[in-house]
Amino acid sequence: MKRYFYTSLLIFFTSLASNAQEATYYRYDTDLLSKEFHRSRRDELRKMMPEKSVAVLFAAPVRNRSGDDDYVYHQQPDFYYLTGFTEANAILILFKEEQMIEGTKTNEVLFVEDKDASREIWTGRRLGKDHVEPVLGITKGMANTEFEGMKVDFKKFDKVLHLAFPKGVVHERGEKADLSILVDQFKKKYDGDKEDAFALFEALAKLRMVKQKEELTLMRKAIGITCEAEKEVMRALEPKQYEYQVQAILEYEFKAHGSEYVGFPSICGGGENTCILHYETNRKQLKDKDLIVVDIGAEYHGYAADVTRTLPVNGTYSVAQKAIYNLVYKAQAEGIKMCKPNGSFWEPGKAAKKVIAAGLIELGIIKSEDEVSKYFMHGTSHHLGLDVHDVEINYDLIPGNIITVEPGIYIPEGSMCDPKWWNIGVRIEDDVLITDTGNEVLSATAPRTIEEIEALMKEVSIFNK
């Protein structure tokens, strides 16, 4: 019995030791993309690389806000897609064929900042080179200080693939291998005549445009959080609030549901600010008869949502506001119908613009279709994913694509139409997944019709108490 007990203890502690490297990295979230997912993305990219080629990707630079205060770090999306790594000053090298690197036969190397207890007490735990393989599943991890001495001749490859070098890279005094140094070291190692930046961008775009099952789970989470925020703003909205208070409510909802960041600066434009497409100031006090455009997106584990609702501050749309809102709603419905496999990326926009042009003529706001761009001046769709305006490389819709459909009408004060329309800006935006048989509106839980919105706005929010 004792022998069995001690054998069990030995097995238990051996198991703990085998998992120690991964466990001590303190990855608190349990729903991150798996290392198998990132490995599959590297494998798919490697299949698309030409023979005798190498691909080199750099982590995003650290961005300074002011003085010694940096912005919260955000990884370069392609780098994250291929690795799951979220630290700075790193290089990923992928080889088409296996190479012998420092005694290891491998087709991939990730150079990272190594462990440094004196630095980590200030800036947080680092993965370190010894955790690269067990945590990320990348077969060779090295310290970024070892990159300069890496014995690989880039001139022997037929193609050296890399994206545009990071912009605004600054060397930090005293650093031995920050991004500035790593970029300079790489430039000294490779033959510029063999570079091909577009081929790597194109290959990564083709992969990222089609969302895998694990990605869809995270996208649904980000979009669901965003819809909950839109709904809470509908309950809480009232005259005399400030735009920044609306922003505070929705971004509280983001954080309360686990979102790490906003996918983009929140747009909360009321009154005249509904007619500014990317308004971000959010300082105006809202008036009783104002509309407010709430264009927001939570980011969850790197994936961004993008949902817009236009709301009446006092809870009820005026007759003029209803006319414009219903026209945009009708245009969006026609656009969503055109979201289907093998369809064109441009068809939702064409359908929406046709509806808006006819409606504005009927309302007497314009006289001919070619005037529609005065009041609807932007595209209707963009891809969505690791970037809120995600990468795209072709214009045929295929299953796995996620695009927005977001028509709008914006009539600023002084426009050449009846003043009753002035300062009415309306945009309705939803996130649409292209499926094998049609589409799925992922953001459908946020009310869209006038009746649904006005009904929800009658409810009381905890933020009003």
Q: Given the structure tokens 């996208």, which residue do they identify?
A: 219
The answer to whether residue 7 is domain-embedded is no
In the annotation, is 389 catalytic?
yes
In the annotation, is 6 catalytic?
no
pLDDT at 17: 40
Please write the tens of the pLDDT for every residue from 392-425: 987 899 999 999 999 999 999 999 999 999 999 9
Judgement on whether residues 174 and 216 belong to the same structural domain of the protein? no
In the annotation, is 410 catalytic?
yes
23 pLDDT above the threshold of 50 = no
pLDDT at 174: 77
In the annotation, is 378 catalytic?
yes
11 pLDDT above the threshold of 50 = no
pLDDT at 193: 67
The answer to whether residue 31 is domain-embedded is yes
Out of 151-160, 282-291, 380-389, least confident range: 151-160
The answer to whether residue 10 is domain-embedded is no
In the annotation, is 406 catalytic?
yes
In the annotation, is 74 catalytic?
no
The answer to whether residue 15 is domain-embedded is no
Judgement on whether residues 265 and 191 belong to the same structural domain of the protein? no
In the annotation, is 178 catalytic?
no
Judgement on whether residues 237 and 184 belong to the same structural domain of the protein? no
Domain of residue 112, residue span: 21-206
pLDDT at 4: 41
End residue of a domain, out of 156, 184, 206:
206
171 pLDDT above the threshold of 90 = no
CATH code where residue 441 lies? 3.90.230.10
In the annotation, is 396 catalytic?
no
The answer to whether residue 4 is domain-embedded is no
144 pLDDT above the threshold of 60 = yes
Judgement on whether residues 189 and 66 belong to the same structural domain of the protein? yes
Q: Do residues 222 and 297 make contact, with C-beta atoms less than 8 angstroms apart? A: yes
For residue 191, what pLDDT band results from cuts at 50, 70 and 90?
A: low
- How much of the chain exceeds pLDDT 90, in percent? 85
Judgement on whether residues 187 and 96 belong to the same structural domain of the protein? yes
**Which residues have C-beta within 8 Å of that of residue 217, sequence separation ≥ 6?**
31
In the annotation, is 171 catalytic?
no
Out of 4-8, 28-32, 129-133, least confident range: 4-8
Judgement on whether residues 117 and 149 belong to the same structural domain of the protein? yes
User: Per the structure block, which two tokens stand in for 417?
Assistant: 């139409």
Strand residue runs (E) in 67-149 = 69-70, 91-101, 104-112, 141-143
173 pLDDT above the threshold of 90 = no
Judgement on whether residues 231 and 108 belong to the same structural domain of the protein? no
CATH code where residue 127 lies? 3.40.350.10
For residue 6, what pLDDT band results from cuts at 50, 70 and 90?
A: very low
Relative to beta strand 159-162, strand 69-70 is unpaired
- How much of the chain exceeds pLDDT 70, in percent? 94
Q: Out of 25, 184, 382, 454, which one is annotated catalytic?
A: 382
Judgement on whether residues 364 and 336 belong to the same structural domain of the protein? yes
457 pLDDT above the threshold of 90 = yes
Q: Out of 133, 230, 306, 431, which one is annotated catalytic?
A: 306
Number of domains in the chain: 2
Please write the tens of the pLDDT for every residue from 76-134: 999 999 999 999 999 999 999 999 998 899 999 999 999 999 999 998 999 999 999 99
Sign of CA dihedral 284, 405, 392, 81: positive
pTM for the full predicted model: 0.93
pLDDT at 261: 96
Give the integer Cα–Cα distance in Å for 63 and 53.
31
Q: Out of 126, 220, 383, 427, which one is annotated catalytic?
A: 427
Q: Out of 215, 290, 429, 430, which one is annotated catalytic?
A: 429
pLDDT at 25: 65
Q: Out of 29, 51, 68, 153, which one is annotated catalytic?
A: 68
Judgement on whether residues 123 and 214 belong to the same structural domain of the protein? no
pLDDT at 19: 44
16 pLDDT above the threshold of 70 = no
Judgement on whether residues 98 and 215 belong to the same structural domain of the protein? no
The answer to whether residue 100 is domain-embedded is yes
Judgement on whether residues 171 and 239 belong to the same structural domain of the protein? no
Give the integer Cα–Cα distance in Å for 349 and 320.
24
Relative to beta strand 141-143, strand 104-112 is parallel
Please write the tens of the pLDDT for every residue from 50-61: 999 999 999 999
Q: How far is CA 390 from CA 84, 222, 254, 372, 384, in A?
A: 18, 15, 21, 27, 5
Judgement on whether residues 387 and 310 belong to the same structural domain of the protein? yes
433 pLDDT above the threshold of 90 = yes
Q: Out of 378, 387, 392, 454, which one is annotated catalytic?
A: 378
End residue of a domain, out of 206, 226, 256:
206
End residue of a domain, out of 188, 206, 224:
206
The answer to whether residue 14 is domain-embedded is no
pLDDT at 395: 82
Burial class (CB in 10 A: 0-12, 13-18, 19+), 226: buried
Q: Out of 27, 63, 278, 283, which one is annotated catalytic?
A: 278
The answer to whether residue 236 is domain-embedded is yes
pLDDT at 15: 40
